Amino acid sequence: MSFNYASVGDLKVGSYVMIDGEPCRVVEVSKAKTGKHGSAKANVVAVGLFTGNKRTIMAPVDQRVEVPIIEKRVGQVLSLQENNVQIMDLESYDTFEIERPSEEDVASKLAPGARVEYWVVASRRKIVRVVQEKE
C-alpha cells in the first residue's frame, strides 16, 4: 500500500484519508478547542471511495493519519461484462478487469474503444470518468 502521513488538523474538505484501511474523501471537518487541560480535537467525516460508506474520525488535531497516494491513469475499454469492465492501460499496455462504476453518468458512457480515467488507490482500481467516447 502506498500512503503518506498527515496530521488530522491538516485535513480539509476534498482531501483523502485512510479510515479503517479504506480510502475515503473528506466531506466535513469540524474542530473543537477543549478546556484548560486538553488538546484541540477534530471531527472528520469522510465517504469511502469504493464502498460509499460514511466513516468518521474523532482525534486530537496533532494525531497522524494515513493519506493515500492516488495514481491517475488513462486506459481504453476493451469489453464490457455484466459487472466488470476490461481495460487496457495506455502506458504499460496491461489488461485487467475493474468493477463497473456505480455512478450512472459514467457507466452510461462506457463502450468498447472509449478512453477512461481510472485511479489506483491502495492497490485497488476505480473508473472515475470517461475521457473520450468512442467515435
According to the model, what pLDDT value does residue 53 have? 93
Give strand ranges (E) for 20-69.
22-32, 41-48, 54-60, 64-68
Q: Read off the pLDDT of residues 86-133 as tens digits, 9 standing for 90 and up.
A: 999 999 999 999 998 888 888 888 889 999 999 999 889 999 999 877
pTM equals: 0.84
Q: Read off the pLDDT of residues 4-44 as tens digits, 9 standing for 90 and up.
A: 999 999 999 999 999 998 999 999 999 988 777 778 899 99
Q: How far is CA 129 from CA 42, 88, 106, in A?
A: 32, 15, 6
Residue 55 predicted with pLDDT over 90: yes
Q: Give 13-17 contacts, CB < 8 A, sequence gap 24+.
A: 15/67, 16/49, 16/67, 16/68, 16/70, 16/121, 17/44, 17/46, 17/57, 17/65, 17/66, 17/67, 17/68
Q: Please give the domain boundaries of the chain with CATH numbers for all domains.
A: 3-68 (2.30.30.30), 70-132 (2.40.50.140)
